[in-house]
Structure 1
Amino acid sequence: MHPRTAPDYLAGYPPDLAAQVRKLIEEDRLGDLLLKKYPQTHAVRSDRALYDYVQALKDEFLRNAGQLSKVAYDSKLHVIQHALGTHTRVSRVQGGKLKAKCEIRVAAVFRDMPPEFLRMIVVHELAHIREREHDKAFYQLCRHMEPDYHQLEFDLRAYLCHLDTTGRPLWRAAADTPKP
């Protein structure tokens, strides 16, 4: 069995940009920069709250896309598939009708992240309801739902590099944060 290698979250970005992120991590400065830019975690803690959050975004941007049958945080997602979110579409025959179920799962690591990062991953998974491939139309839809999509994705990928390298999460759940 081969040992798993950590995913290269910055693959596809220009090498000089990835080198800048790695240098900030080596100098232990990336965490401070991200905390300054994204100081707070979101309040979407439960699967029910996540469902309501995703449904509200879907209703705003993808009204005709059909109903979501399940939305949940998934603690196994990041470890197994090196994915941050997944979308599945299952079709079943019930009686004489074909029923389609659409599920979105978000990696549990997003429970303790800034609201901007949660929105970015939810927008990404919602875009897959309409566009299956990561093509031009997919990213146009992502930018329609979240104009800062590309910057948020880059910042999230930089944070994931920080987390893989240092093992130190930057944000904690509101209940875990000491009160001044």
Structure 2
Amino acid sequence: MNPSLRYIQGYPEHIVGQVEQLVSSGNFNSWFSKRYPNNHQIKSEQALFNYAMVIKNQYMKKGSPISKVIYDGKIHLINNALGLHSFISRSHGGKLKAKNEIRIASVFKQAPEPLLRMLVVHELAHLKEKDHNKAFYALCCHMEPDYHQLEFDARLFMISKEL
């Protein structure tokens, strides 16, 4: 198996086979570019924070506050992840301060907007649901109805970056 296909391990054989065929024929990147011709323009961390807050305020007004949303160049290498949600507690002046941070892999600075949205939705859902359970995915689908397709497409995006 082509090493770049590791992103879709666990998907049904017929789907992996279709992707493998596109990769081996050399047509994968042109196919993916036709599917997603444009990348988003959310390049700064302030723009990313604002983008995440619009989604949060639309679907999770009463959710925990977010202190930071950033692109992180180390995420993919260290955690083999595309995004991370961290909950940090710090003692500050005798009081415990809790902060929620969202980190998105830097590779998604150059991604189509729907894929960035899917990652932001995924990390926002962790504010309410810590585990990847049924309630977590229901919340993701509430915020982004095409969540499951976009999650798969984000994996295809990673393949296209490696080719």
* Range of TM-score over shorter length: over 0.9
Partner in structure 2 of residue 94 of structure 1? 92
Once the two structures are overlaid, the 10-residue window that deviates more, 155-164 or 116-125, is: 155-164
How many Å separate the matches in 2 of 1:42 and 1:159? Answer: 14
1:31 Cα deviation from its structure 2 partner: 1.4
Distance 1:44 1:70, change over 3 A: same
1:145-164 matches, within 5 Å, as: 145-164=143-162
Pick one of 66, 77, 92 that aligns with 1:79: 77
1:6-45 matches, within 5 Å, as: 8-45=6-43
- What are the ranges of 5 or more consecutive residues in structure 1 without an aligned counterpart? 167-180
1:37 Cα deviation from its structure 2 partner: 1.6
Pick one of 52, 66, 72 that aligns with 1:54: 52
1:6 Cα deviation from its structure 2 partner: 6.5
Cα deviation digits, residues 50-109 of structure 1 (max 9, x gap)? 011011111111111121111110111111211111000012233453321000000010
1:124 partnered with 2:100 = no
1:101-180 matches, within 5 Å, as: 101-164=99-162, 166=163
1:36 Cα deviation from its structure 2 partner: 1.2
Give yes or no for contact 1:9–1:157 (8 Å, CA) kept in 2: yes
More helix by percentage: 2
Give yes or no for contact 2:40–2:110 (8 Å, CA) kept in 1: yes
SS of 1:8 mapped into structure 2: helix
Matched residue pairs, number?
Answer: 161
- What are the ranges of 5 or more consecutive residues in structure 2 without an aligned counterpart? none
- The percentage of aligned residue pairs carrying the same residue is 47
TM-score (norm 1): 0.84
Give yes or no for contact 2:4–2:159 (8 Å, CA) kept in 1: no
How many Å separate the matches in 1 of 2:5 and 2:149? Answer: 20
SS of 1:63 mapped into structure 2: coil
